Amino acid sequence: MALDTPVRQDPGLASSDPKASDAAPARIALVGNPNSGKTALFNALTGSRQKVANYAGVTVERKEGVLTTPAGRQMRVLDLPGTYSLRARSPDEVVTRDAVLGRLAGEAAPEALICVADATNLRLVLRLVLELKRVGRPFVLALNMYDIAQRQGLRIDLERLSREIGAPIVTTVATRKRGLSELLEQVERLVVPRGDAVDSVWREPSAAEIRAAHAEAQRIFKACVKPPERPDTMTGKVDGVLLHPVAGLAILLTLLFVMFQAVFTWAKIPADAMDHLFGAFGAWTAAHLPPGLLASFVSDGLIAGVGSVLVFLPQILILFFFILMLEDSGYMARAAFLMDKIMGGAGLHGRAFIPLLSSFACAIPGIMSTRVIDNRHDRLTTILVAPLMTCSARIPVYGLIISAFIPPRTVYGVLSLQGLVMFGLYAAGIVSALLVSFVIRRVFWRGAVEPFMMELPTYRWPEPRNLLMNLWTRARIFLERAGRIILPLMVLVWVLSTFPYPPPGATGPAIDYSIAGRIGHLVEPLMRPIGFNWQMTVALVPGFAAREVAVATLGTVYAVGGDADSHAALSTLLQHQWSLATALSFLAWYVFAPQCAATLGVVKRETNGWLWPSVMFAYMLTLAYIASFVTYHVAVALGAG
C-alpha cells in the first residue's frame, strides 16, 4: 500500500467534484489505544487548523480540527481520548465511548471512525476493534508506525486481517505524513452516502462475552500476525538500565534536576530580551503620551503589568519542552513505574505520577488527567495534592524573588545557585504532596492502593514538528490567558491603585489613599505575623484569580513602570523594600497557597460538588500560613530579618 502520498490541508483548493465541495463537512473521530500515535496522526491530518476546548459538562479535553481530502471535501476531525475498551472505567474512557455511540450531549455522532493502532503492538487493540465492529459504526483501521513494523520484519497479513475485522485497513506513518491520502479515500467511501447518524445499540458485555472477545482477538492475532524477523531488542536493553530500581531512579532524579535547572538558566537570555523589549516599549509610550492619567494607564497599567508576566514565557516553554519530550519518547510511562513504590508508600497510585508531573506545567490539565485512575479514592487523593506541584504560573513569582535576593553565582563551578533554589522550591512541592497524600489516605479513607498496571510503549524519537506544534499550542494558550485574564485584572488593579486621588494637603504616597491601599492596610494585621507588608497583601488578592498576576500587581502597587527594564527595576526595588526573611516567607506562601480560582473550579467539576474544593482551599491556605510563619521567624532568628 502507498505510504508516501501527501494530504492536502488547504480549504481554498478547488474540488474536482462539485458535489463534494458543496456538501457539509463530515465528522470523523480518531479512536485508539494510548501511545498508538493517534495524536500524531491528528496533527498530520489537521496541521494548525485545530482548536482545543472541553466537552460540554465535563473537563475532558476536546481537540477538533479541519482537513480537506484529495477530492476536495472538508471534514471535521475529533481526537478522542485513548482507551483500551468501550467498557469505560474512567471519565476519559466514558467520553470516548459516548462519542463513538453518539451519546454525548450537544455532540453529533461521528459518521465514521478511524481506529488508530500501533502496528508493532496489535494484540491489545484487536479487542477494541472487535467492540467497534459490534457497535456497527463504519470504521477504518489505520496501522500506524508501519515503518517500524517493517524494520522489525513484522509480518502482518493485511488482507486476511481486513476480512476478519470487517473493515478496510490502511498503513500509515503519521510522523512522515505517509498513507494519509489513502486513509482519507477510505474514510470518504465510508461516509458516502451520508445519512442521519443515530445512537448505536450497545450494552455492557458480560464476563463470558469479555472472555469470548479476548479469545477471538487472540485467534485473529495468531492467524494474521507472525513474529518479527528482527525483533526490537534495544528497548529491552535500555529498560534494563532505565527501570533498574537504583540506577533507573537515579537517572530519573537527574533528569528532573536538569529540567528544573534549565527552567531558570536556559531562559535567562530570551527572558531578559523580552523584559528589555517591554520596558523600552513602556518608556517610549510614556514619552510620547501627554503626562497624566492616560500615560499612567498605558505605561504602568497595561504594558508594565502584562509585560512583567509575559517575560516568563521562555521559562514556561522550556518546562513544557521537557514534559513533551518525556511523553513523546515513551519515557513517561517508565518514570511512572519507577515512582510507583515511592508513591504507593505515600498513599498514591502509580498512575498518579503522570498527572502530578503534568501539574508542573499547570494543575488544571494535571487534575483533568487523573481520569486515567479508575479507583475513586486514589483519584481524589491525586486531585487534592496536584496543586502542590510547582505549576508554571508560580514561575513568575519564583523568578522575581530569586533574581532579587539570590546572587547569580555558580556552585562547584557548574550549578547555578539560583537554579538550585528553584529546584528546592520544586522539591518542597513534591515532598509536601507526598506527605499530604499520606495523611489523606489515613484520615479520609483507609485501605491498600490498587496494583499498578500500564503498557510500556516502544521508545521513539520525538517528532520535531509535533513537538513544535504542541509548544506553539501551549504558548498560544498562555498568551490567550494573558489577554483574557491577566489584562483585565491588571486594568482592575490599576484602577484600584489609582482612585480615589489623595485629598488636598495629603503628605503620604498617593497609593495609600487608593482603594487598593485601604484594602492592603485593612488586611495587613492578619499577614504581619508572617512578615508581609500591605503591598504584598494587595498582590495576593488578584493572585487568587491567577498566581502570576501577583508579580504584575507588585509592579503596579510599587509604581514601577516606564523603565528600560521594568522587571530589573522591580527586583532592585524589592531588595530595598523587603528583608530576606520576608522574601523567603513570600516564597513559602506560594509553595502552598491555593491561589488559582480556575483550579478550584476544575476540582468542583471533577468531583461534582464544593466539598473537595473547600477542603483543598482550607488545607492549602492553612499550610501556606504555617509555612510562611515558620520560615519568616526562623529566618529572623538566623539574622535574615
For 88, phi then psi, to 5°, come to: -60, 130
Point out the annotated binding site: 32-39, 43-44, 46-47, 57-61, 79-82, 144-147, 173-175
* Centroid of chain to Cα 300: 31
Residue 158 near residue 119, CB atoms below 8 Å = no
The torsion region of residue 112 among left (phi > 0), alpha (psi -120 to 50) and beta comes to: beta
- What are the grid coordinates assigned to 85, written together? 475498551
Residues 6+ apart with CB under 8 A from 404: 570, 571, 572, 574, 575, 583
Nearest to residue 12, comparing CAs of 74, 65, 64?
74
143 vs 141: CA distance, rounded Å: 6
Torsion angle (degrees, nearest 10) of CA 332, 335, 341, 345: -70
616's enclosing H/E stretch is helix 611-637
Nearest to residue 305, comparing CAs of 49, 553, 639?
553
Q: Which sign, positive or negative, has the C-alpha torsion 211, 222, 328, 176?
A: negative
* Centroid of chain to Cα 504: 52
The torsion region of residue 445 among left (phi > 0), alpha (psi -120 to 50) and beta comes to: beta
- Report the residue count for the chain: 641
DSSP annotation string for 354-414: HHHHHTTT-HHHHHHGGGG--SHHHHHHHHHHGGGS--GGGHHHHHHHHHHHS---EETTT
CA distances from residue 22 to 26, 28, 73 in whole angstroms, order as listed? 12, 18, 8
Which residues in 154-165 are b (16+ Cβ under 10 Å) and which e? bebebeebbebb
Residue 556 near residue 301, CB atoms below 8 Å = yes
Residue 45 near residue 170, CB atoms below 8 Å = no
DSSP H helical ranges for 289-330: 293-296, 304-310, 313-329
Secondary structure class of 226 (helix, strand, coil): strand
The torsion region of residue 82 among left (phi > 0), alpha (psi -120 to 50) and beta comes to: beta
Kindly report the three-state secondary structure assignment for every residue of 556-567: HHCCCCCCCCHH
Residue 543 near residue 553, CB atoms below 8 Å = yes
* Angle (deg, nearest 10), helices 597-607 and 376-385: 170
* Centroid of chain to Cα 425: 20
- What are the grid coordinates assigned to 11, written together? 480549504
Point out the annotated binding site for GTP: 32-39, 57-61, 79-82, 144-147, 173-175
Which residues in 560-583 are b (16+ Cβ under 10 Å) and which e? bbbbebbbbbbbebbeebbbbbbb
Point out the annotated binding site for Mg(2+): 43-44, 46-47
Tell the burial category of 62 from Cβ atoms under 10 Å away from its Cβ (0-12, 13-18, 19+).
buried
Residue 542 near residue 493, CB atoms below 8 Å = yes
Residue 279 near residue 565, CB atoms below 8 Å = yes
